[in-house]
Amino acid sequence: MKKFFKNKYFSVFIILSFLIYVMSNGEWCVPIFAWIYPILFLCMIYLNHTRKVYLIISSIYAIGFVVQFGKAIGMDIKICIMVAVLLSFLKVLPYIYWSKSKMRFQDTIIFASIMVSIEYIIYLIYPILGGLSDAYTQYQNQYLLQIVTVTGIYGITFLIYWTAAMVIWIWNNKSKKEYIRKYIIVYGSVIGLVFVYGIVMFHFVGNSDKSVMIAGVTVPISHLLNDDKDIYSTFYTNTFTDENITNTRNKLSSVADELFLKTEWEAQAGAKIVFWSELNGAVLKQDEDMLLQRASDMARQEEIYLIVSLLVKTPYEDLKENKTVAFNPQGELISEYFKYGRSIGELCQKGDGILKSFDTEYGRIAPFICSDMAFL
């Protein structure tokens, strides 16, 4: 094993692990890779217990983070690198525990639990990073996703890392067939119950007469806010021109047109409640009333509850409005909620921290935005 660690093949193994990690999330998301890369990281420890392995894993986490999310989160590259390094120090901790443990069955559970705890701590410290969890890579696995109704996203994170530890544990104890059999049954039973629950929820509970179709509508807008010279100067500087404002209004009007078109599609497909993604309704203050009137008309026309997410910019004012506005099927405005849980450096007005709920025939709804639940 040690010879393997020292020879050229281990370098190939490291490169392979890095590539699979990079493609497990972010820019290139291959869902199965989110299950594979922790196995490869644990393999490194299985092959050699030196401190060099921790540095390798930490480096892969740090470099991979910048590659995966550098553009998506819109951070300055220096800040992004600093965040990546700090996260890598945290995420390597479960692997340090694993290498120091006796690698018993209970250690597989502790290993996964430590990673879940670290993800939650990261979310509490800087909520925007909570949206980068490996759990979100499984968005296409409809049966697995049902577990979030019980555990939140952390149930998926736990299963990903527990599976990785179990693979290594089984391999490490492959000669003790009788010993590992009962633990494989325990693991298999848990996984089986998760998917049985998912199947029941998806096919039976989800299709009952008491269920309602909900749709989320989104239009990519971060590139406009961050890279378009007209919109960026208007939203984030005080050096814009009249031409910048005119161009910004036209460009954001096109975004709004696409949002309403997608809203109409979802309503006609059967959705009774439609949400817009955070910031999608970017608009200048002078055009806000017109946008809200369109939303009211759309809700009334399609007989839906429409919750629009707005980023309202008043020229020459530093703080923007990051809020949701809800309309009922009669087109009446029934809720306006300002984001409360602001991330570091987020220049938006802070809400009062009180959720604005409203009753519907489908139950009570209380919109909130992004990291609010880390603070409320």
CATH of the domain at 265: 3.60.110.10
Q: Residue 6: pLDDT above 80?
A: no
Residues 6 or more apart from 178 whose CB is under 8 A from it?
none
Predicted confidence band at 28 (pLDDT cuts at 50, 70, 90)? confident
**pLDDT computed for residue 5 by the predictor:** 47
Q: Is 357 found in the same domain as 275?
A: yes
Q: Is 325 found in the same domain as 222?
A: yes
Give the orientation angle of helix 8-22 with respect to helix 33-47, to 10 degrees.
150
**pLDDT computed for residue 211 by the predictor:** 80
Q: Is 270 found in the same domain as 220?
A: yes
**pLDDT computed for residue 71 by the predictor:** 75
Phi, psi of 287 (to 5 degrees): -105, 0
Burial label for 254, CB within 10 Å (0-12, 13-18, 19+), is exposed
Q: Residue 74: pLDDT above 80?
A: no
Compute the residue count for the chain: 376
Burial label for 147, CB within 10 Å (0-12, 13-18, 19+), is buried
What is the C-alpha separation between 260 and 294, in angstroms, rounded? 8
Q: Is 365 found in the same domain as 236?
A: yes
Percent of the chain at pLDDT exceeding 90: 73
Q: Residue 289: pLDDT above 70?
A: yes
Do residues 296 and 239 lie in contact, with contact meaning Cβ atoms separated by under 8 Å?
no
Alpha helices in 173-284 (DSSP H): 177-200, 222-227, 229-236, 242-268
Q: Is 218 found in the same domain as 198?
A: no
Domain count, the chain: 2
Q: Is beta strand 358-360 parallel, antiparallel or unpaired with respect to 321-327?
A: unpaired
Rounded average pLDDT over 229-241: 93
Q: Is 246 found in the same domain as 298?
A: yes
Rounded average pLDDT over 272-289: 95
Q: Residue 128: pLDDT above 80?
A: no
> DSSP strand E in the chain: where?
214-217, 273-276, 281-284, 305-313, 321-327, 333-338, 358-360, 363-365
**pLDDT computed for residue 19 by the predictor:** 96
Domain boundary residue, one of 170, 205, 240: 205
Residues 6 or more apart from 370 whose CB is under 8 A from it?
127, 128, 131, 278, 339, 341, 343
Q: Is 78 found in the same domain as 28?
A: yes
Boundaries of domain holding 16: 2-205
What is the C-alpha separation between 165 and 170, in angstroms, rounded? 9
Q: Is 274 found in the same domain as 139?
A: no
Q: Residue 323: pLDDT above 90?
A: yes
pLDDT digits (tens, 9 = 90+) for 140-174: 999 999 999 999 999 999 999 999 999 999 999 99
Predicted confidence band at 223 (pLDDT cuts at 50, 70, 90)? confident
Predicted confidence band at 4 (pLDDT cuts at 50, 70, 90)? very low
Q: Is 140 found in the same domain as 283?
A: no
Token pair belonging to 284: 């200048």
Rounded average pLDDT over 69-73: 77
Rounded average pLDDT over 99-113: 95
Token pair belonging to 100: 């120091």
**pLDDT computed for residue 46 by the predictor:** 81
Q: Is 119 found in the same domain as 243?
A: no
**pLDDT computed for residue 315 by the predictor:** 92
Q: Is 177 found in the same domain as 226?
A: no
Burial 170-209 (b: 16+ CB within 10 A, else e): beeeeeeeeebeebeeebeeeeeebeebbeebeeeeeeee
49-58, long-range: CB < 8 A, 24+ apart = 49/99, 50/5, 53/95, 53/99, 54/92, 54/95, 54/96, 54/99, 56/14, 57/92, 57/95, 58/88, 58/89, 58/91, 58/92
pLDDT digits (tens, 9 = 90+) for 343-374: 766 788 889 988 889 999 999 999 988 878 77
Phi, psi of 60 (to 5 degrees): -65, -45
Domain boundary residue, one of 205, 225, 243: 205
Domain boundary residue, one of 205, 236, 270: 205
Do residues 166 and 187 lie in contact, with contact meaning Cβ atoms separated by under 8 Å?
yes
Residue indicated by tokens 């807008």: 221
Phi, psi of 337 (to 5 degrees): -130, 125
pTM score, two decimals? 0.80
Q: Is 233 found in the same domain as 156?
A: no
